[in-house]
Amino acid sequence: MTKADIVKAINENVGLPKNETEDIVEIIISLMKDTLSEGEDIKIPHFGTFHVRKKRLRKGRNPQTGVDLDITPRTVVTFHPSNSLKQSIE
């Protein structure tokens, strides 16, 4: 499903004009990006939680050459589905 599919589904179910629906979806995505970039989690009941994790410096190896190297620290976003989402998928 793409962002355009989400806009279309909301438009058909709610009946808002398409340009307003696009604006609402953009605002939601922007709010989520801003919240995650501040290091905060996003919890959506009956859906799941987006977590921000900081990964530490770690050792790695180039599989082609076998040379050891350091993998730099970085920040990643993870998603943990709620139990109700897990059950609805099964």
**In terms of residue numbers, what domain contains 75?**
40-90
Helix %, strand %, coil % for the chain, to 5? 45, 30, 25
Same domain, 72 and 28: no
* pLDDT tens profile 28-70: 999 999 999 999 999 999 999 999 999 999 999 999 999 999 9
Same domain, 82 and 50: yes
- Give the global pTM: 0.77
Same domain, 6 and 20: yes
Sole residue written with tokens 């076998």:
66
How many distinct structural domains can be found in the chain?
Answer: 2
Residue 32's alpha-carbon distances to 15, 44, 65, 83, in angstroms, are 24, 11, 40, 22
Same domain, 61 and 29: no
Query: Phi-psi category of 51—alpha, beta or left, where left has phi over 0 and alpha has psi -120 to 50?
Result: beta
* pLDDT tens profile 3-18: 999 999 999 999 889 9
d(CA 89, CA 10): 21
Residue 27's H or E segment, with its range, is helix 18-37
What token pair was written down for 3?
Answer: 């962002």
